[in-house]
Amino acid sequence: MQDRQPAGITILGATGSIGVNTLDVVSRHPERFRVVALTAHTDIDTLAAQCRQFQPQYAVMADPAAAEQLEQRLGATAPDVQVLAGSAALVEVAGLPEVDYVMAAIVGAAGLLPSLEAARKGKHVLLANKEALVMSGALFMQAVRDNNAVLLPIDSEHNALLQCMPDRYTTGSVPPGVSSITLTASGGPFRETPASKLMSVTPEQACAHPNWDMGRKISVDSATMMNKGLEVIEAGWLFDLPAASIRVVLHPQSILHSMVEYTDGSVLAQLGNPDMRIPISHALGWPERIVSGAEPLDIAAIGQLQFSAPDLERFPCLGLAFDAWRAGGTAPAILNAVNEVAVQAFLDRQLAFTDIPRAIAWVMERSDVQDAGSLDTVLAADARARERASEYLASISHRVGT
């Protein structure tokens, strides 16, 4: 083990919270990992600093103008870094032959194609981009199987579930002896906010998550509990389970990350501080355990753990996600597309917080669900759903203040 060459890793979305935490873990194990490629959307400053520290072979900016600025910024400090630009370059660095691990941490639908390429090239796919499975779960899991890729979830809940699965379990197969799984949810910043006040909440309030440091889009998804809804769909694909076998429970401390119930009545749970370096290190080291840098859990200091059932009237997005998972086909892709549009409109102060689920329900009711048997079908459903979401925004623009 000590004589092995460091494994090459591409980090898609290196400047986000997952990417930054991944590099923190990687930096603790230079004998195990070498950074081959780092990518970002427009955050030139952070990616430039990362390139100077880790000296990757490639740096990719999704935005071409940002790529030009990055190349100028690196100059003599990282002259060997090849700067690329555009969506095709993201796909390219996900499939490089010298890459063994791909951290798929691009938020939203933009992460689908490079994540799928990593699966098609048989990589260890560390999946933090849940939308890849939500949009095209059947295609993605088939690519994993056909190319002997290793799919390891990074979301704290799904990684916790994997840690509680039977020995030698591999994602995508029915876990033997398992009767149900339970995903925990913090409930976000509005867990106890009166429903009558939700319409007037601001983007700043929605992004103030009590436990996790996340990007703005994911923070809003947590506040609406759509994030948990998308995780339900992701869990269905990862562990080959129907909606009836997937449960959600509110757990405000974010210490117990998920549970697996077995047919004999046993329930296994994974606990840890809310630190994304724990699931990241688990996936990077799998099937071994490696140092993450996270603080040890002091359960006595925490004192007690609380659990309660989610209120679907307060969090209608969770119910909409379960409906989409039951409907199957392109329904989850439609759900995800409208949510992305609606969340961005909310962040831009063009949509009220409570209109996010209304937009999703409005489009879902007017959309034809098709079999998601091809990537073209999935992408077409995504595009059409975004068009319909824009129609909804136009229809209510008269009652949304600026």
Three-class secondary structure assignment of the chain: CCCCCCEEEEEECCCCHHHHHHHHHHHCCCCCEEEEEEEECCCHHHHHHHHHHHCCCEEEECCHHHHHHHHHHHHHHCCCCEEEECHHHHHHHHCCCCCCEEEECCCCHHHHHHHHHHHHCCCEEEECCCHHHHHHHHHHHHHHHHCCCEEEECCHHHHHHHHCCCCCCCCCCCCCCEEEEEEEECCHHHCCCCHHHHHHCCHHHHCCCCCCCCCHHHHHHHHHCHHHHHHHHHHHHHHCCCHHHEEEEECCCCCEEEEEEECCCCEEEEECCCCCHHHHHHHHHCCCCCCCCCCCCCHHHHCCCCCECCCCCCCHHHHHHHHHHHHCCCHHHHHHHHHHHHHHHHHCCCCCCCHHHHHHHHHHHCCCCCCCCCHHHHHHHHHHHHHHHHHHHHHHHHHCCC
Structure token digits, residue 224: 């609406």
Largest CA distance in the chain: 66
Burial of 218 (0-12, 13-18, 19+ CB in 10 A): buried
pLDDT digit string, tens, across residues 211-258: 555 678 888 998 999 999 999 999 999 999 999 999 999 999 999 999
Mean pLDDT, rounded, of the chain? 93
Residue ranges of the chain assigned to CATH 1.10.1740.10: 328-402
pTM tops 0.85, yes or no:
yes
- Starting at the edge strand that comes first in sequence, how are the strands of the sheet with 82-85 ordered? 82-85, 58-61, 33-40, 7-12, 101-104, 124-127, 150-153
**Whole-number pLDDT of residue 1:** 41
**Whole-number pLDDT of residue 364:** 97
**Separation between Cα atoms, residue 183 and residue 188, nearest integer Å:** 14
- At 210, is the pLDDT very low, low, confident or very high (cuts 50, 70, 90)? low
Q: How many CB atoms lie within 10 A of CB 86?
A: 14
Distance of alpha carbon 81 from the chain centroid: 28
3.40.50.620, 1.10.150.240, 1.10.1740.10, 1.10.10.10: CATH of 328-402: 1.10.1740.10
**Separation between Cα atoms, residue 236 and residue 252, nearest integer Å:** 23
Looking from the CA of 107 toward its CB, the CA atoms found within 13 Å total: 21
| Buried/exposed code over 172-189 (b: 16+ C-beta within 10 A; e: otherwise) | beebeebeebbbbbbbbb
Q: What CATH class does 7-153 carry?
A: alpha beta
pLDDT digit string, tens, across residues 19-76: 999 999 999 999 999 999 999 999 999 999 999 999 999 999 999 999 999 999 998 7
**Whole-number pLDDT of residue 348:** 94
Do the Cβ atoms of 324 and 334 come closer than 8 Å? yes
Between 5-9, 111-115, 152-156, 201-205, the lowest mean confidence (pLDDT) is in: 201-205
**Separation between Cα atoms, residue 327 and residue 238, nearest integer Å:** 18
- What percentage of the chain carries pLDDT values higher than 70? 96
Torsion of CA 174, 122, 154, 20, to 10 degrees: 180
- At 401, is the pLDDT very low, low, confident or very high (cuts 50, 70, 90)? very low
Of the two residues 197 and 226, the one the predictor is more confident about is 226
Q: How many CB atoms lie within 10 A of CB 262?
A: 16
**Separation between Cα atoms, residue 140 and residue 157, nearest integer Å:** 20
Nearest to 334 by CA among 384, 376, 377, 375: 384
Residue ranges of the chain assigned to CATH 3.40.50.720: 7-153
Calculate the alpha carbon distances from 42 to 28, 37, 66, 146 in Å. Answer: 27, 16, 6, 34
**Whole-number pLDDT of residue 200:** 85
Nearest to 134 by CA among 209, 259, 221, 62: 221
